[in-house]
Structure 1
Amino acid sequence: MQHCTHCNVEVLETRTTCPLCGNKLPPPQEGEAAVSFPQIPSYLKSHMTLRILLFVSVVMVVFSFTIYFIFPTELNWPLLLLLGLLSIWLDMIFLVQKRFHIPKKIVWQVAIISLLSVFWDWNTGWRGWSLNYVIPLLCITALLLMYSIAVIMKLGNRDYITYAFMSALFGFIPILFLLFDWVTVEYPSIISIAVSFIFLSAIFILQGSSIKSEIEKRFHI
C-alpha cells in the first residue's frame, strides 16, 4: 500500500501518481498487489455463438455469389448482401463493446438502413426491392442480432420487456406491407412476421413470470 504525503491518504493499488492530487507516489514495496481491479474479458472473445454466426454469414455470402454466377441478374444483390453483413458485424461489435441503450441503437440502425434502401430504390427507378426484400430481411436480422446480444451479454429479466416490444415492432412493419399491398413478393414479409412471432412467443413463454413480476414492480400492481 502506497502513502501520499501530500493528501495523507493510503492508495490501495499500485500507481505512479496520487489519484487525488496527482503528485508522485513512492515506489511500492515487494509483495504488494499491483492491481486492485480484475481484468474483465471481452464479450466478443472466443464465444461459440459468434463463431456460429460468423460461419453462417460466410456460407450466406458464398452461396449467394454462387447463385449469382450461375443465374446472373442486372442487380448485383450478393454484393449488397456482403455489404449488409459487414455493416451488421460492425454494428454487433459496436453494440457489444458499447453496451448501453442497445435496443435504441438497433432500432435506429434498422430505421436508417431502411430509409437509405427506400431512397436508393426510388433513385434507381423503383423496382420495389427495398420493401420486398431489404426491410423484411432487416427486421429478421435485427431480431437475430437482439437474441445474439442477449445471449452473449446475459441480460437481466427487465431487458426482456424491451426486447418483447421490439420483436412486436419488427413484426408489425411487414404486416403493414401486406395489408396495404405495398409488396409484390410476399414471402420475405411473411417469414419476417413468423420469426417475430416466434421470438415474441419464446420471450413470453420462457420469461413470462419474470416479465410479469417486473411489470408489477414498475406499475405497482
Structure 2
Amino acid sequence: MTTHRNSTATDRLAEVRARIGRAVRDCGREPDAVTLVCVSKTFEADAIVPVLEAGERVFGENRVQEAMGKWPALRERFGALDLHLIGPLQSNKAEEAVSTFDVIETIDRPKIAEALAKAMDRLDRRPRLFVQVNTGAEPQKAGILPEDADAFVKTCRETYGLAIAGLMCIPPVDDQASPHFALLNVIAARNDLPALSMGMSADFELGIQLGATHVRVGSAIFGTR
C-alpha cells in the first residue's frame, strides 16, 4: 500500500480495515477471525488519539518504558483496551511488562519465561502470552529457533506454568513471507496453539491467507516513522 502524504490516519485505517475484510472473506474465514493490532510504537499520543476515536482498541508497542509513558493517560481517557508488547523483552523489565501489557508476544528464552512467571505471580496479573519464533534463524533477531519451538513451548507450560496462547514471527525482510507464515502455522497446530500473530503492513493479507489471527499494522495506518 502506498501511504499518501495528505491522507489521515483515519483514512488509512479505513483502507486497512477494508483490506482485512476482503482478505478474510476471500479465504472463507469468519468476519471476526482476525484482530488488527495497530502498531503505535514511536508515535506520540496525539497521533494515536484519532485511531482510538475511530474505535480501535488493540495496539502494539515495542518498548516497555515508552508504553508506560503514554498509555496510562490514554487508558484513562478511552477505557479498556488491549496493549501488546511486540518488541524484545529483557528479564529485568518483566514486572513492568506484566503490569503494563495485556498481551506479551515476544517470549523467546527460558530466562524470560521464568521472569514472567514470577512477575505474574507477584502481581496476580495474567497477560496472554505468545512465543516468538525466529523462522528465518537470523542471528541478529529475537525468537526461538523453529527446531527448538516445541520443546520451548513444553518448558513454558510444564516448568513455568505459563499458559501460551500462540506464536508470533517476523520473517526476514528479503524473504518471501509465505514459507515463514506456513511454518509458524504448522508449529502452532502441533502444539495446540490457536493464535498466530503474523503479517505486517506489507504482507498482512498473506498472513491472513495462511492462518493469522492477529496482524500487526503500523505504517499503513500511522504513516512513515
Is TM-score (shorter-chain normalized) higher than 0.5? no
Would you tell me which structure has more helix in proportion to its own residues? Answer: 1
Higher relative strand content: 2
Q: Which structure exhibits the higher relative contact order, with contacts defined as CA atoms closer than 8 Å and separated by 6 or more residues?
A: 2
TM-score by length of 2: 0.28
Report the TM-score, using the length of structure 1 for normalisation.
0.28
Decide which structure has the larger Cα Rg and report it: 1
